[in-house]
Structure 1
Amino acid sequence: MARLGLRPTDRTAYLIIFLTTIGLWGTIEYKVRSVDRRTARLERKVDLVLESLGVEYVDPALDEVDTLVREGKKIQAIKRYRIITGANLSEAKDAVERMEV
């Protein structure tokens, strides 16, 4: 480090900045995951309420996915669902399987 012209105090400052950044990143990631879990729980609850009321809600953007499901093209339906919604593979698979019923 001496060749770079950094004094020990400079290295300490960079280390503190680096560790603070890592800590903040971890905190933000934890919060985002927490919000994702809460959102998923709320979505499941809304789905249960709709199901208990006998209401079927189909998002107009998902008409293409619904058509693929009815045609028996499950894999293409999952892929299209992921593109439209940004869901991960597991979420898309669960959603498409719910559409099959």
Structure 2
Amino acid sequence: MNNIVIWGIIGAGLLIIIVCAIIRTQKDIERINVTLNKIAKQVGVQDTVTNELKSLILDGKKIEAIKKYRMVTGLGLLEAKEYVDSLCEKELK
């Protein structure tokens, strides 16, 4: 077998392993954030991030709200957008 093919297969395998590790880490972070939010709610810690996001949404800065939520939580773009969209729906009601 050609060396290039072998190295290509090894590279593809490593890439798959790295992508799986990244996905697993993102899911772990999401689970930890959910747990921390539950603990904070029980202890009575004010959710200043959500209040700040709502303020950005009301100011018409939805993209900035998504960026802020991603920065704070470490979540991906899709998850952050879905969360901010859910806040938008709550604000409209």
TM-score by length of 1: 0.64
Question: After the TM superposition, which residues 1-101 of structure 1 pair with which residues of structure 2 at under 5 Å, given as runs?
Answer: 12-59=2-49, 63=52, 65-69=53-57, 71=58, 73=60, 76-77=61-62, 79-84=63-68, 85=70, 87-94=76-83, 97=86
Q: Alignment identity in percent?
A: 11
Aligned partner of 1:14: which letter? I
Query: Structure 1 residues 54, 96: CA separation in 2 closer, same or farther (over 3 Å shift)?
Result: farther
Larger Rg: 1
8 A Cα contact 1:82 1:89, kept in partner: no
Partner SS for 2:48:
coil
The alignment's TM-score, normalised by the length of structure 2, stands at: 0.69
Question: What is the aligned-residue RMSD (CA, Å)?
Answer: 2.8
User: 1:34 is aligned with what amino acid?
Assistant: R
Tell me: CA distance 1:47–1:98, structure 2 relative to 1, closer, same or farther (3 Å).
Answer: farther
Structure number with the bigger relative contact order (C-alpha 8 A, sep ≥ 6) is 2
Residue 83 of structure 2 aligns to a residue whose secondary structure is helix
**Aligned residue-pair number:** 84
